[in-house]
Amino acid sequence: MDEFVGVEPASLQELAHRLQRLHSLLAEHGPAIQRTMRRWDSTLSFAALPYLIDEALRDARDMDARATKAHELTREQPAPARASGPAAHPAPAAPTDTATPEMSVRLDWDSAGHGGVRAEQDAGALAEVVARGDPGVLSPEDLTRHLGDAGYLAAFWGQACPIALQAARTLINRAGPALFGPESTAILRALGASLAAATRMRRGNGADSRPLLSDAALDAIVKHPDQWSVGMLVRYGPDGRSWDCEILATITRAVLEAHAAGLVKVPERARGADSDPVAAVLRRAAENGHAARRLLTDPSTCPEHAALLRDALARVSAGEDLDHAGEGELKQGGRDQP
């Protein structure tokens, strides 16, 4: 998000058409190219060709979406004011060989792509889920099909982060025996997977490389007043190895500090083995290893939390599935540590 560039709508549209043509040619002739090269006993590998065809299609869709947005921005710009009187009808200018350049507009490159447009739609659907408490408004597949799309993830978490952090508390099952119903659980798993994927991605290259997840989004997570809901996104998200170690350590530290300060408000219906946010983040940090080491070497980690983390590390090393460990078991094990 916030990567604004100056663009000319017509040039973007032309680029979109050329990318569409490239995809069409690759899709049409790719199989014949592979067959021909095999007949010639070529040693070149064409294993990446299907991926390149899919990538060309994504690029074409992204550019078409950006061109559409650029044209919209052009139409929204005010027309130049017309003068009155004789000056309103100036003499025609002498013809020149140089074409007048088209008006340029400033475009948010990531959010204006096809993935960014989809992210905006899904963020709106998630807002409706949270507002109505109805998980049926959003399909989890709408989130998980974009786990490899950096443009989508940057746009989605740039817009939906505050809403996603409210999801767990909003989706608590009010009537059934389970804390979350099947649809709500699927939404939380998809949000956790999406957040984990966003933490692993980076934008830029070399010295300019930086996390895809913006500072504002990370601040929103670690400073969120409901760290129980944050812990549930980690709890229902993927294995700790699927998270960026530094960001996972930062999130874990925020939950632990909120817990130590008595600021974690566990819902009445969530007082059970699988709804303890401290146990949830410790599991993921223990699974990551690098995140656990960052926490254990941090002098601000209190002795009790360090003991719990060492216990979680030992149990992960022993091959135990901590996703099914009870809250009492994990805490008792931590207190037994020297």
Question: To the nearest whole percent, how much of the chain has pLDDT over 90?
Answer: 30
For residue 116, give the amino acid letter.
Answer: G
State whether 63 and 152 are in the same domain.
no
- Lowest-pLDDT range, 262-266, 286-290, 300-304? 300-304
pLDDT band at 284 (very low <50, low <70, confident <90, very high): very high
State whether 238 and 137 are in the same domain.
yes
State whether 226 and 130 are in the same domain.
yes
For the cut 60, the answer to whether the pLDDT of residue 92 exceeds it is: no
Residue entry with tokens 């049926």: 136
Of the three residues 89, 112, 135, the one that is the final residue of a domain is 112
| Coil vs helix vs strand at 168 | helix
Mean of pLDDT values over 265-290: 85
The rounded radius of gyration (Å) of the Cα atoms in the chain is 26
* The pLDDT of residue 97: 45
For the cut 50, the answer to whether the pLDDT of residue 217 exceeds it is: yes
In this structure, the number of other CB atoms found within 10 A of the CB of residue 237 comes to 24
Of the three residues 56, 87, 112, the one that is the final residue of a domain is 112
State whether 16 and 69 are in the same domain.
yes
* The pLDDT of residue 237: 95
Quote the number of domains for the chain.
2
Highest mean pLDDT among 217-221, 294-298, 311-315: 217-221
The answer to the question of residue 98 being in a domain is no
For the cut 70, the answer to whether the pLDDT of residue 234 exceeds it is: yes
Domain that holds residue 268: 118-335
The answer to the question of residue 97 being in a domain is no
Of the three residues 82, 112, 142, the one that is the final residue of a domain is 112
For the cut 90, the answer to whether the pLDDT of residue 250 exceeds it is: yes
State whether 141 and 16 are in the same domain.
no
- Residue-wise pLDDT tens digits, 58-89: 777 777 777 777 777 777 766 554 444 444 44
Nearest CA to 217 out of 157, 155, 167 is that of 157
pLDDT band at 1 (very low <50, low <70, confident <90, very high): very low
- Residue-wise pLDDT tens digits, 108-154: 665 555 567 788 889 999 999 999 888 888 899 989 988 988 888 98
State whether 142 and 238 are in the same domain.
yes
* The pLDDT of residue 111: 53
CB-based contact 299:305 (threshold 8 Å): no
State whether 172 and 283 are in the same domain.
yes
* The pLDDT of residue 113: 54
Q: Which residue has the higher pLDDT, 116 or 99?
A: 116
* The pLDDT of residue 244: 96
The answer to the question of residue 87 being in a domain is no
- Residue-wise pLDDT tens digits, 34-60: 888 888 888 888 778 887 887 787 777
Q: What is the dihedral of CA 313, 316, 321, 322, to 10 degrees?
A: 0
Structure tokens at 179: 């804390």
State whether 253 and 324 are in the same domain.
yes
* The pLDDT of residue 334: 34
- Residue-wise pLDDT tens digits, 182-200: 999 999 999 999 999 999 9
For the cut 50, the answer to whether the pLDDT of residue 203 exceeds it is: yes
Structure tokens at 32: 């014949």
For the cut 50, the answer to whether the pLDDT of residue 312 exceeds it is: yes
Mean per-residue pLDDT over the chain, rounded: 80
Q: What is the DSSP letter of 39?
A: H
The answer to the question of residue 137 being in a domain is yes
State whether 70 and 125 are in the same domain.
no
* The pLDDT of residue 336: 31
For the cut 90, the answer to whether the pLDDT of residue 232 exceeds it is: yes
